[in-house]
Structure 1
């Protein structure tokens, strides 16, 4: 079937991409081929290969050349992200009738993996933005979808996800931010912590307490920047993810119209968790991109770096390490793509498989990036070399979207409940 709408736009743009059978991308200004055994195009449809090429090319030309600058100067690359939105990457799995690309979860994973080879931090923010747009698209009414989604899909406006609080991280159901109903508004009080894009974004998808204790007392409100009583903390100084600002989001008698509530009262925790299932696949996909780039960087370094009279590529220990890295990368990719398919199909095992994918991929991909840094020796610790930034940017993936300890809890709970 011929592609239509936003997908057709993505595929048409791919015609400008190099048609080499071997995909290529740019890290540090050098074009490198992808070894066939780790080629991320394996198993994809022709359409998926088309927009994967577009994403790789965008990563190479629009992101990788600026990755270090964005990191070191802490630049939020708004215009670059809007260019990505022109390719359909601002609302990848949002319905086309409100400006989205209408693609599947697997398609989304493929795109985020490719984009992350150019900049993990920026792609990770784009993944969060996509999650917020999807939540409004999925749980909003017609008026809300038409009001918010088109500007989010074009990235004319940017979104942030507000769940974590200073006193409730892994235990999200214990959140304290309150929303008291007063006439046709909720009066919002409390604070959210570690909010990606906080202060620089336009739309905040906020989980708050409208009822009693526990998950059934939580609702979801969309709060727009400029609303009186919406304030922000200082910009956090982070190890990685420096191309996206992180701040506390603070509500002080912040009046939010009832018309900005997504779904019914008490539905917020369900909305939050459904969003996170996809968010876990997205962030795992970003880890895949970093690991993929790091394997190639390590390979290229081994081929040119000489010690003891020969290149490091002749050292069997390092050959074996590289083989292990490649194997773990491919295993991670297969699990992430299986999880994406499970979520798309609404399978009964989707929550557990998404948790497995997030746990396995973020752990193993961090290890791959870290091993790649080790293979670079002292050079890997210099900011002139991209590998150190991949290490710093993916480390947080083991913490956010549910810590990997919580992923283990979800998986084990599923196993024990069915025994």
Structure 2
């Protein structure tokens, strides 16, 4: 289990206790079954919404909890430790609300945010395209103004919650002026002209639906524009900075779950008359796994504290995402090794953890892109900041 947390308030301690209870009683018991049958956990997201866990970092006036990111991320870690699909889903939903919460008008926020943060509406974040992944500014989905509507045509790819979400925070091209020609629209799932491909067949997170989103003459009212025309790319990057912290926290939760399983097994499994945890070679492996988990946790928490204090955190967010997701990949791989042949079977959860650990190294910007961001930040900023 993770080390004792130092939370800023009693309210935060109670919230984390509630999260652990829900994770233990409602998420962990059904995770393997849902993943095996590729079943989307919509009811679980509704439960989290009713429990107040879908709007933690957003203001109370719209149904949020106005909690620090430091606390929100620890909630994500607990959810992901029980069920990675749900942890990632909450992170994606939170990121999908970001553009509206930060850049929407008062009227837009009052109209849409309460249902989003309360769990009645589940969100998706539609930025990537098949030819515009790491190079997001190359997106071509176009929105042309026509009276009181935008006429949207194009396709988005690799969209988490695709076909399941109620709204899509969608980046579209409103002019040909490169990154400055991108705008942000809040698109209802039921908009005529919006369709979804069958879910991708993935190696992990199989309970999470990932699809393409197709726009064929979809009419989106102009009052669904978030921010001004041309601000979309800046909005997208800003949302990703916070979203990377969410993925880092989820990766730590997954790694912690793998470590817990490996330690439990090593304490019970005997060879040559001793439990295998007593063999130095394996004990050192577990020690390295524990060091990786706690180091990654400290990294994301420090980045979150900078965000909470209003300090620059772009570099720290990329570092946290890079460190935590690489750690999760190694820790889950080593957990399978600790369990040996048993770890390679579906009788134990570590094989699923290993499959789930790969994609966090890819989404919210690949870890290669994180290195680009970090290097650019080192070049352009005071490295002590």
Query: Smaller-chain TM-score range?
Result: over 0.9
TM-score (norm 1): 0.89
1:42 deviates by 4.2
Once residues 74 and 29 of structure 2 are traced to their aligned partners in structure 1, the CA distance between those partners, rounded to angstroms, is 21
Q: What count of residue pairs does the alignment treat as equivalent?
A: 382
Q: Is the contact between residue 189 and residue 253 of structure 1 (CA under 8 Å) also seen in structure 2?
A: yes
Deviates more, 1:163-172 or 1:145-154: 145-154
Give the equivalent residue in structure 2 for 1:414: 377
Post-superposition shift, 1:48?
2.6
2:364 counterpart (388, 391, 401): 401
> How far apart in 1 are the matches of 2:81 and 2:281?
26
How far 1:336 moved relative to its partner?
Answer: 0.2
Q: Distance in 2 between matches of 1:103 and 1:42?
A: 15
Please, which of 392, 397, 404 is the counterpart of residue 355 of structure 2? Answer: 392
Instruction: State which of 142, 153, 169 in structure 2 corresponds to 1:189.
Output: 153
Deviates more, 1:408-417 or 1:258-267: 408-417
Verify: 1:344 aligned to 2:285, yes or no.
no
2:335 aligned with 1:372 = yes
**Once the 2 structures are TM-superposed, how far is the Cα of residue 43 of structure 1 from its aligned partner?**
6.0
Provide, for residues 41-91 of structure 1, a one-character-per-residue CA deviation record: whole Å limited to 9, x for no partner: 146544332211111111111000001011001111111111111221111
- Within-5 A mapping of 1:210-249: 210-249=174-213
Aligned 8 A contact 1:91 1:134 in 2:
no
Structure 1: distance between partners of 2:222 and 2:17: 43
- Aligned residue runs from structure 1 range 273-288, under 5 A: 273-288=237-252
Q: Aligned pair in 2 of structure 1 residues 182, 388: CA closer, same or farther (>3 Å)?
A: same
Distance in 2 separating the partners of 1:292 and 1:235: 29
Q: Distance in 2 between matches of 1:100 and 1:128?
A: 16
Shift of 1:40: 4.7
Residues 7 and 71, structure 2, Cα contact 8 Å, conserved in 1: no
What SS is found at the alignment partner of 1:221?
strand
Residue in structure 2 matching 1:310, options 264, 271, 274? 274
Unaligned 5+ runs, structure 1: 1-33
Q: How does 1:15-30 map to 2 (within 5 A)?
A: none
Contact kept? 2:81, 2:254, Cα under 8 Å: yes
The question of 1:56 aligning with 2:20 is answered yes
Aligned to 1:144: 108
Distance 1:40 1:206 in 2: 39
Deviation at 1:237, TM superposition (A): 0.8
2:224 aligned residue: 260
Residue of structure 2 in register with 1:168 after alignment: 132
Secondary structure, counterpart of 2:320 in structure 1: helix
Report the counterpart of residue 3 of structure 2 in structure 1. Answer: 39
Cα distance in 1 for residues equivalent to 2:348 and 2:321: 27
Once residues 62 and 273 of structure 2 are traced to their aligned partners in structure 1, the CA distance between those partners, rounded to angstroms, is 61
Q: 1:374 to 1:299 in 2, by over 3 A?
A: same
Contact 1:93–1:134 (8 Å) recurs in 2: no
Q: Hey, what's the Cα distance between the residues in 1 that align with 2:379 and 2:345?
A: 46
Separation (CA, whole Å) in 1 of partners of 2:8 and 2:148: 49
Listed as ranges, the gaps of 5+ residues in structure 2 are: none
| Offset at residue 114 of structure 1 (A) | 0.9
**In the aligned structure 1, how far is the partner of 2:6 from the partner of 2:259?**
17
Does the Cα contact within 8 Å between 1:120 and 1:394 map onto a contact in 2? no
Question: What's the CA shift for 1:205?
Answer: 0.5
